[in-house]
Amino acid sequence: MCGRFAITLPPEAMVQLFDAVPGNDLPPVPNFNVCPTNAVHVVRRGAAQAGDGEAGRRLVAMRWGVIPSWYKAPNDGPLLINARADTIAEKPAFRQAVRSRRCLIPASGFYEWTVTPDKARLPWYITRADDQPLIFAGIWQEWERDGQQLVSCAIVTCDANPVMARIHHRMPVILAPADIGLWLGEEGKGAAVLMRPAPEDALRFHRVDPAVNSNRASGPGLIEPIEAQG
């Protein structure tokens, strides 16, 4: 799964990387502890709101955690921050979105935890081995009720590759830059083939301070190797 991540890329870099038009309400960066329900940076294709007719890619803000259309309130059911690749086409909360509302969620790295025999949670920070930004496959959804409107998203996850499985049995679907057009639907159909684990040599990881176990923690120290913190 993916329950916490970091984003340090400035919006200008994301605009250039994805050839996207930026929105006006983008979340502040850097953020070393992006948590569920936070606003996150999302790249999507086409118009996401009524009256927004611009074509092409847009860099916008969305709430992390899909809100299905039948929820009476944003907290009316489970917090859906991840969508499993193996069931995404069947789940009512995701099946229409994966057909027509796919998106990209950029990140600098993400956190995962191992658990010791005495139940201590040890956090790890995972990045691309080549130091390039991570591009998570995502889906998005519009929700409206009683005059309240929210646009939300979820990260698509898959079985972990053997290297990542040392830490957790699931991992985000990480797209290569060459896969962006296909995932966004710009290159026709066939995006389902992209919902697979990243190659074993694509990622690297290191232990970080347990301070990140708190969703209130912040600052660049959260991603530093624990050995460097004395």
Mean of pLDDT values over 219-224:
97
For residue range 41-67, what is the model confidence (pLDDT) as tens digits?
999 997 644 344 456 999 999 999 999
**Res 46: pLDDT:** 75
Q: What does the alpha-carbon distance between residue 52 and residue 40 come to, in Å, rounded to a whole number?
A: 20
For residue range 165-203, what is the model confidence (pLDDT) as tens digits?
999 999 999 999 999 999 999 999 999 999 999 999 999
Burial of 38 (0-12, 13-18, 19+ CB in 10 A): middle
Could you give the domains of the chain? Answer: 5-229 (3.90.1680.10)
Q: What does the alpha-carbon distance between residue 184 and residue 188 come to, in Å, rounded to a whole number?
A: 9
Full DSSP string of 158-172: EEPPTTGGGT-SEEE
pLDDT: is 6 or 229 the higher one?
6
